[in-house]
Chains A and B, each alone.
Chain A
C-alpha cells in the first residue's frame, strides 16, 4: 500500500518534519592529560559527554574549517605532542561510523593503546599543552520550521541554523542508533525518496563546512524533485 501511495503522491510526506535544534553548554571536568599515557587513562574513565564534546560537538564548533580539523584528540596529538602518525589515525575516526559513544570511546582507546605499545617512550613524554576534558550538556528545543511539504522542507534546510543541521544530520545517529540521520530517515520512511535519502547520507562532513553540507543537501533535493 505504501508503494501505491508513494506512486500517487511521490512528494507528499506522510508525516511532517519538525526541525529541532540543540544548545550545548561546556562543562569542565576533572580529567586532564599532560602525556599520552594520561590521555589513555582519561579516555577510559571520562564521561560519555566528554567523548561527545571532543568529537561530535567539536566538529560543530569548527564547522567552518574544511581542512585539518576532525576531533580534539587528533588536534592535540599533533599540536601538543608532535605525533603526526598518531594524529592521522585519530583524525581518521569518522563519527558517522558510530551509533554509540561507548563504541567511539573504544576506538580511540584502541588507537592510543596500540600507538603506546609500539612506541612506549611516547607514553610519559610531556605535551606542550594540557588536554582538558570538557563535557557537553545539551538542551534540545524546537524551531519555527515544520515541513509539511517538500517545498517546506527545502526551505527549512536553507533557513535553519547550522546548529539545527548538526542536530539532525550528525548528532542524530546517536539517537537513532542507525548509520543514518533524521533527514534521510524522514525522506525514506515518510516521503519515499529513498535514493535522495541515501545520497544525502553520503555527503562528506569532513571535507566540507556545514554551510557547504546545507547547500549540497538543498541542491540534491531540488534535483530529485524535478
Chain B
C-alpha cells in the first residue's frame, strides 16, 4: 500500500481528499443510473488528511463551547499527560488518539503518546485476553501470564513516566503501573488512569482475576458504558466513545459527490434507501437485515444497501457475505458492497444518501456506525444491545428493535411517516452533538485531569 498514491477512479477525476473539502465538480446526473456489475473500489488508500485544529470545530459546536474548552484547560497549563496504547495505526483507539493528542496539545496540555512493543507471543496472548474479556472461554496458563508480565516489564524499563497524568489504554499495557507502594517509594509523581475500551460486562473470571490486582493500583478507571464497569476500589468514570465530525467519514460532503457515489454503485436516489454499514459479521446480523427488508418491501417501495468490508481478509467474513448473497438472491433492489477499509468518503456519502439507516446488531460494543448515522441526521433503527441504547432513546432519537419483524415494521413505519422520521433524525444529531463528538471527549479529558490534579500544585 502506498499512502501517497493517487486512488484510481473510473474517470481519473480528483477525489474529495485532494481538496479542502469533498468538492467534486458537478456532473450531469444520469436519469437512469446504470447498475455496475461490481462496485468501484479504490485499489490504494488515499493520502491522509491533516488533523483539524480546535477552531475548525467552531462552526459545529459554537465559539462559546470552544472557549469553554480553553477555560477548562487554563488551570492545566504546564501539566503533562502521557497516553500509552498498543498500536499507532489501525483500530479505534489509535484513530481517537490521533485526533485527541494534537487537540490537547493545542490547549497547552502537553500530551505524549507512547506505544508499547512486543513480540508475536505477546500479541497472541493479549489477543486471547481481549477475546476472553469479551466472554470467550479461555484457560489462562502460567506461560501466558509470564509472557504478559515480561513484556510489560520490558516496556516499563524502556519508557519513562515523568508526566502528571499517565493514561493506559486497554489491557495490553495494564501491568505498566507499579504497585502504589512501589510507586511511592520511587517518588513517581503521576496519577495513573486505566482507560478500558472493551466490553467487560461478562469477562472470563480467570483473565479478569489476573488483571484486576493491576487495575486496583490505578487512581481511576474509565469505561465506555455503565454496564462495562466492575466492582473496583477506585473511582470509575464514564467516557462514551466518540466520532470526529471533521473526519472523512463524518464531514459534510458536496451533494454532487454523494450523487456520484450513488451512481457508481447503481443506487437510485429517487426511491427510498435503507442502509446498513457494517462488517460482514454474524453479530451485525446482515442476513436479518435482508429478511426485514423483504418483509417491509411487501408494503413500501425501497432499496436495501449493505455496505461493509471484512470479506476479503477474513474467512468468516467471506462466509457471511456468501450467506447474505444467498438470502438476497437475484433481487435487483438489494445492493451488496464489499468495500476496502479506506473508503471513508464513500461510506460517508452512502450514509448521507440513505433514507433510513439500520444497525440490526445482535451484540455490539458501542456501535459507532449508529453514532455516524445519527450525526448525519438519519432516522435510525438499531438492535437494543451493547452501547446502542445509550445513543438511541426509543422513539426520541431513533427506534430500538429486538427482532427481524420489529425491524421490518419500523422500516415501514418510518418510510410512511417522514415527519416523525425527520424529527428522530434532528434529535439524534443533537444527541450526538451533546454527548458523542470528539470535542465532548476533549472536554471529558480536561475535566478528569482537573478533578484528579485538583489538589496538586504545579
List A residues at the B interface (Cβ < 8 Å). 21, 23-28, 30, 61-65, 67-69, 75, 79, 129-130, 132, 134, 137, 139, 141-144, 159-161, 163-164
Contacts and interface: CB of A to CB of B under 8 A. Distances in A.
Contacts of B67: 143-144
B64 interface: yes
B68 A163 contact: yes
Interface in B18-72: 62-65, 67-68, 71-72
Nearest to B444: A25
Nearest to A130: B227
A207 B200 CA distance: 38
A28 B229 contact: yes
A60 B145 CA distance: 46
B430 A161 contact: no
Contacts of B451: 25, 137, 139
B118 to A, nearest CB: 30
B125 to A, nearest CB: 29
Contacts of A69: 393, 396
Given A69-B396, A143-B64, A159-B64, A27 B236 contact: yes
A28 B68 contact: no
Q: Which of A24, A130, A141, A144 has the most CB of B within 10 A?
A: A141
Interface string B78-90: 0000000000000
Contacts of A63: 434
25 contacts: A23-B446, A25-B448, A27-B236, A27-B237, A28-B229, A30-B231, A61-B434, A61-B435, A62-B393, A64-B430, A67-B396, A68-B395, A129-B389, A132-B227, A139-B450, A139-B451, A141-B68, A141-B71, A141-B72, A142-B71, A159-B64, A160-B64, A161-B68, A163-B65, A163-B68
Contacts of B62: 161
B229 to A, nearest CB: 4
A137 B447 contact: yes
A143 B71 contact: yes
A164 B226 contact: no
Given A63-B434, A139-B447, A27 B68 contact: no
Contacts of A21: 68, 71
A47 to B, nearest CB: 12
B321 to A, nearest CB: 33
Interface in B334-384: none
A130 B226 CA distance: 10
A26 B226 CA distance: 10
Interface in B385-408: 389, 393-397
B150 interface: no
A25 B64 CA distance: 19
Interface residues of B, number: 35
A64 B72 contact: no
Contacts of B63: 159
Given A28-B226, A144-B67, 4 more contacts: A25-B451, A27-B236, A139-B450, A164-B64
B177 interface: no
Q: Which of A25, A63, A79 has the most CB of B within 10 A?
A: A25
Interface in B424-454: 427, 430-431, 434-435, 443-444, 446-448, 450-451
B115 to A, nearest CB: 27
A134 B238 contact: yes
Nearest to A29: B236
Contacts of A30: 231
A37 to B, nearest CB: 20
Contacts of B447: 23-25, 137, 139
B418 interface: no
B434 A28 contact: no
A25 B237 CA distance: 7
Given A132-B226, A161-B65, A65 B396 contact: yes
Contacts of A67: 396
B226 A134 contact: yes
Interface string B134-151: 000000000000000000
Given A23-B443, A26-B238, A27-B237, A143 B223 contact: no
A25 B443 CA distance: 9
B235 interface: yes
A143 B434 contact: no
Contacts of B446: 23
Contact of A28 (B71, B237, B389, B450): B237
Contacts of A24: 447
B391 to A, nearest CB: 12
A28 B64 contact: no
Nearest to A25: B447
A23 B72 contact: yes
Contact of A27 (B231, B238, B397): B238
